Amino acid sequence: MSALLDGDLAAAGTTAGVTLTEYFVTDRARWLWRFRLGQMAADPGRARWMARQAVVGDEGLVVGHAGFHGPPDEVGTVEIGYSIAPPFRRRGYARSTLIELLRRAAAEPAVVTVRATISPDNVASLATLSGFGFARVGEQWDEEDGLELVYEAPARRDSPARWEGSRQSPGCG
């Protein structure tokens, strides 16, 4: 993340083991890396919960980034976040990334609930979330993003196998 803050895609890609695109050094992305690095400096144990690249296929195509906003809180809730680079949108990668995040959350014994917060204007993200058992539980004001709708779902599903149909499920490396 430090290399990305410096705009050094080559060094960041070498560290990550994949080729990263300009999407990782946009102003919005740099804001995220700065924020996450601050969180990790305050609590190094948070690092494993932070953003990772969303990688598709054996060729290691990086389509975006995804992760959790931090470890589970005192009641076992984690908040997910994901972003797909514009050239890769509307191809099912956000859905596949969401599936991977839900699988990771379900594999963590301390996680009880998964939260997602989405701008009411973000029709694509709202559509991506539908069908995954999320229920709207409220709304909040975010200093960076403005009004957000808050959705939650249980971390463990009766049948996670129903998500297996995705042909290009990215890993989050």
**pLDDT tens string 34-87:** 888 888 888 888 778 877 777 776 677 788 888 898 899 999 999 998 989 998
Burial of 150 (0-12, 13-18, 19+ CB in 10 A): middle
Q: Which residues contact 140 (CB under 8 A, 6 or more apart)?
A: 117, 147, 148, 150
* 135 pLDDT tier (thresholds 50, 70, 90): very high
Residue-level pLDDT at 36: 84
pLDDT at 147 over 80: yes
As a whole number, mean pLDDT of residues 100-113 equals: 93
- State the DSSP H helix or E strand holding residue 127, giving kind and residue range, or none if neither: helix 123-129
Distance CA 85, CA 62 (A): 9
Distance CA 147, CA 159 (A): 32
Residue-level pLDDT at 49: 83
- Measured between alpha carbons, how far is residue 71 from residues 9, 75, 78 in Å? 27, 11, 6
Residue-level pLDDT at 58: 67
Residue-level pLDDT at 156: 83
* 26 pLDDT tier (thresholds 50, 70, 90): confident
pLDDT at 144 over 80: no
Q: Look up the pTM and report it.
A: 0.80
Residue-level pLDDT at 158: 59
